[in-house]
A and B are shown apart, each in its own frame.
Chain A
Amino acid sequence: MWTRQSRDCFSRWLVTLVGYSVLLAFAIIFVFLVWQVWPLFQPASISAQSAAESSMPYSYQVEAQRRQSGSSGLLWLDNGLDERVQLHADGRFRWYQRLDGDWQLSLQGQLALSSWQAAVLLPGSRTLLVADQEALVHSWFRLHQQLIDRPGIPLHQSEVLALIPLSADTFFSLHPEVLHWHHATTGKRLTELRLSDQPLQQLQLSADRQRMRLDWGAGQSKDYQLHWQHPAVAGGQLWSKVHYEGRREAAYVWQTAAAADDSSPRLSLVPLTSGTLKAAAYAMLFATPLAILAAVFTAFYLPERWRHRARATMEMLESMPTVILGFIAAFLLAPWLEQQLMLFFVLLVLVPAVLLVCSGLWFHWRQRQQKQAEQPGAVLVLSLVAGILTAFMLAPVLEHAWFDGSLLLWLAGQGIDYQQRNALIIGMAMGLAVIPSIFSLTEEVVFQVPASLTQGVLALGASRWQTLSSMVLPVAAPGILAAILLGLGRALGETMILIMATGNTPLLGFDPFEGMRTLTASLALEMPEAAVGSSHFKVLLLAALLLLVLTFLINTLVSLLRLRIRQRYQQL
């Protein structure tokens, strides 16, 4: 039965199947994430439903609201929990708050408008919405003893029959013949529902606020299903500044464990993305020059035996667990840097300076001796050590002379906040994690530059460095770019160092003395706690997808560049 041919055939099929399944695995990861994230971007919608026998506990009388405000000029609004507002026709209001069971006046005054058509207090929140005569819904919320103004929400029709609250961040505006659904926090119009020209009597909502019943009186009613799964991102909060209730101004906010008085999480990916970019930028700033210079030297100057050793060591170090680097960064480097910030800066400036001076002296001396000034050897090590020692001795002196003994205090005096776990720490720790990958690839491409080229240039009388800078580096440039991108890809996806040494506060900006919270850290820390299927869960998956796409692009670019450099070398 098992003939040689059938065995051959079976083996071919099996192996091919496994080969394809690698592609399949990658596709599944991508498709699964897209599929999970998709509902986030589905617009809210209202669809008609057959009438069901179910109770609708929340009901809003359309006429009553108008009559009340028209006749007595006074409207009582209630958020269903602990806030009440008494609103007069001319815009005067009294705001009550329930404290320990009885209602207390907490705020009163005059709204910045003279007349209004409809008003509502959103359920469970402190936001007051008032529609004026010019198709604009003004939005205020109470913050302690203050009324904070939020940007208004434009309506599409100036005649407003009623504002009907749906949840803490969405509401309906009822116009003649049309019902609009708005996002209260961002002011975006979610969807609309066309109605008949008959005046609507009553609007009822189910307890879970997923279904609604419109009632035109005389037993004529219709049920609708409301589709809105993710109000926390429906208004475009992911990427734009939002003025949330309880804050004084619009901002990018990432706040998942909502405070006691607000119900929905605040999910702006901007601070996290900025954190990721900041961390990667500082790491690259630290790693790129070091790694490329080291790689160029290894490939072009070191003798074969030492080159092998340097390469092997770097390859070994590439597998260093980042959890160890993160621990060292958080517990050793961070306290050290806080103590020795001045020393750090002095080292940064002084060591290259001392090296340059020593190299000049060495060159001069060798020339006087009429010798080639190529391999400095032990002199270099000595001058490096000398530079570091000088920095150690000079730093306290300079700190006393320029900053009254403490750079940290001086920084604080300048209004610069120094956090112990900051971008400089990340730059160094993640820089160390990234160096081996940049080093390996750069070294490879520089070393593989065809020898005929370099020998030709050397034969024309150029020094080794002239050969390198005028010939080798331009030829190998795409490969070096690929190496940098490879390092960038690794820096963007790094997690443990960032969890341990960033402080994990979502902050914007590129301040070197502040920490950050990155996408990866948020993923690792928040994912286990996020409820499956919630907005938070899906937004985290979106963050994962974002990282996946970003690294996908970078890696594709890297393989294209590597392909190109291989072709270039073959041609030469």
Chain B
Amino acid sequence: MRQWWQQGSPWVWLSASALLLCLGLFMALLGLIAVKGMQHFWPAPLVQFQLSEQGKPQLGRLVRQISDRSEAATNRLWLLDRGDGLSKENAESPASSGRYLLLEAQQLLPERPSNAVLVQLHDGRTLYGTMLDAAEVWQSQEQAETGLWLELASQRPVLLPAEDIRAYWLPNQLSLWQRGVVFCQEWRHFLTAAPSQNQSAGGIFPAIFGTLVMVLLMAVLVTPFGILAAIYLHEYAPKNWLTQLIRTSVYNLAGIPSVVMGIFGLAFFVYVLGGSLDRLFYADQLPAPTFGTPGLFWAALTLALLTLPVVIVATEEGLSRLPQAQRLGSFALGATQAETIWKVVVPQAAPAMLTGLILAIARAAGEVAPLMLVGVVKSAPQLPVDMQFPFIHLERKFMHLGYHLYDVGFQSPDAEVAMSLVYAIGLVLLTLILLLNLSAFLLRQRLRRKYRLID
């Protein structure tokens, strides 16, 4: 026993399981987001339910199982999504309106009708119903329009005009391959369409686009600055207290909480700089502010300040890995310091700079708190880049993936719709950021290997 303690065996076990636990928790988190995000698009089968004994069976999609522990025994309930319905007037009674229902097990019917259809409308609504044979209904109605005949919950058959329908499928009779096709189509729609139905449906294209434009603008601002600063620190700076001070301020700049940077962006860039710009150049539009209000440019500038240390540190690392012999060789050939730096050092350290830039972009894409202050909105009517002069509108507000996630999750009236949508947004955001980081990581690995060979 004493030996066991003295040799530190318990500590080894604890530390090993701590590592396992850390990695396991993160992997579980990633897996959860991936699975839940994918589920949002996977065409799940439709089930039937019956609210009362006499009631007609209706169609719906199971969302999840809920265990209700309010009493001594645990009750199992099912949360069911029954679509948006065509309109509010058609709902048969107030009790049955609303999109979500909690069902007990006996209210669910075992059989799954094969002609159950899921219809996605262009305005973002989702309908569940039974598809009727078009020819039959036409005979009785004696009119031929293109569209889809549907029987919704205990109503007369309705004709959905073809131009309203974005997509429809019969979830209960799809083969695995067809499900995959629907899955891909829904993903495509999600990535390319604009949000609808008060953010609870549709796609996230404006958010992706806004994120990309903002991040690119930020990259344009931060790259030259960061690289030059790193070159100064590594190539020119004398070893004195001032350089030490600059170095300290780089480290401290990296440590500033992002929300504080956002506050500075709002109070200084937007209100002070933007306000002055407005008074100087847009005086005729005052008091409606042009640049004196949060917008794309200020957001990019704030994030540029935030990610400046990332670029500086990565670039400097790349510069320091370059063998000193290369610089000396260049000097020996009679090159000036500028020529050495711009023709020998910088081209070789370029991958390191790219690494820094990618890391900065990854960081900027994941930040939300500062953006909430300096220009991101929940829904922007116009994209920041369009075909009108001057093509890129620096003063416009824009949408951002991270903020969109926060907004859909927290401000949405329909929490259950939001849930699966938020997972999907989270998956897109996470994929973007992990891919960026992975590419930076691989680039750096390659770079290190290369320099090891040179050495």
Contacts and interface: CB of A to CB of B under 8 A. Distances in A.
Nearest to A381: B20
Contact of A19 (B14, B237, B336): B237
A466 to B, nearest CB: 6
B232 A495 contact: no
A293 B14 contact: yes
A320 B437 CA distance: 10
Contact of B225 (A18, A360, A374): A18
B167 interface: no
Interface size bracket, A side: 35 or more
Contacts of A314: 22-23
B257 A551 contact: yes
A494 B366 CA distance: 13
Interface string A374-406: 101000110110000000000000000000011
Contacts of A541: 263, 267
Contact of A355 (B8, B14, B254, B402): B14
Given A12-B337, A327-B422, A359-B10, A500 B305 contact: no
A465 B18 contact: no
B259 A524 contact: yes
A494 B257 contact: yes
A296 interface: yes
Interface stretch (A22-30, A69-77, A205-213, A234-242): A22-30
Contacts of B6: 463, 466
Interface string B50-74: 0000000000000000010100100
B337 A8 contact: yes
Contacts of A532: 271
Interface in B342-357: 342
A359 B14 CA distance: 9
Contact of B338 (A11, A28, A468): A11
A324 interface: yes
Contacts of B365: 321
A392 B153 CA distance: 42
Contacts of B26: 313, 317, 320, 432
Interface stretch (A122-130, A135-143, A552-560): A552-560
B298 to A, nearest CB: 13
B433 interface: yes
A327 B72 contact: no
A298 B18 CA distance: 10
A331 interface: yes
B263 A364 contact: no
Contact of A496 (B4, B236, B406): B406
Given A19-B237, A324-B426, A432-B25, A405 B72 contact: yes
Nearest to B272: A32
B251 to A, nearest CB: 5
A383 B260 CA distance: 45
Contacts of A12: 236, 337-338
Interface string B306-335: 001000100000000000000000000000
Interface in B1-24: 1, 3-4, 6-23
B436 to A, nearest CB: 8
B369 interface: yes
B303 to A, nearest CB: 14
B368 interface: yes
Nearest to A18: B228
A368 to B, nearest CB: 13
Contact of B16 (A301, A322, A327): A301
B13 A356 contact: yes
A324 B430 contact: yes
A8 B433 contact: no
A298 B21 CA distance: 13
A544 B252 contact: no
Nearest to A377: B16
A541 B363 CA distance: 24
B373 interface: yes
Nearest to B24: A384
A489 B409 contact: no
Interface in A288-317: 289-291, 293-294, 296-298, 301, 310, 312-317
B184 interface: no
Interface stretch (B95-103, B157-165, B194-202, B242-250): B242-250
Given A12-B338, A359-B13, A527-B373, A18 B368 contact: no
A352 interface: yes
Interface string A345-362: 000000110011011101
Contacts of A544: 259-260, 263-264
A293 B19 contact: yes
Given A321-B429, A359-B10, A19 B17 contact: no
Contacts of A257: none
A487 B434 CA distance: 21
B414 to A, nearest CB: 13
Interface string A321-356: 111111110111000000100000000000110011
B256 A310 contact: no
A426 interface: no
A435 B22 contact: yes
Contacts of A20: 246
B249 A289 contact: no
Interface string A517-531: 000100110011000
A358 B12 CA distance: 12
6 contacts: A314-B23, A321-B365, A328-B32, A367-B3, A547-B260, A552-B252
Query: What 7 A-B pairs have minimum CB-CB distances, sorted nearest first?
Result: A465-B8, A493-B257, A19-B232, A321-B366, A293-B18, A495-B369, A11-B338
Interface of B: 1, 3-4, 6-23, 25-26, 29, 32-33, 67, 69, 72, 225, 228-229, 231-233, 235-237, 242, 245-246, 248-264, 266-268, 271-272, 294, 305, 308, 312, 336-339, 341-342, 359, 362-363, 365-369, 372-373, 402-403, 405-406, 409-410, 419, 422, 426, 429-430, 433-434, 437-438, 441
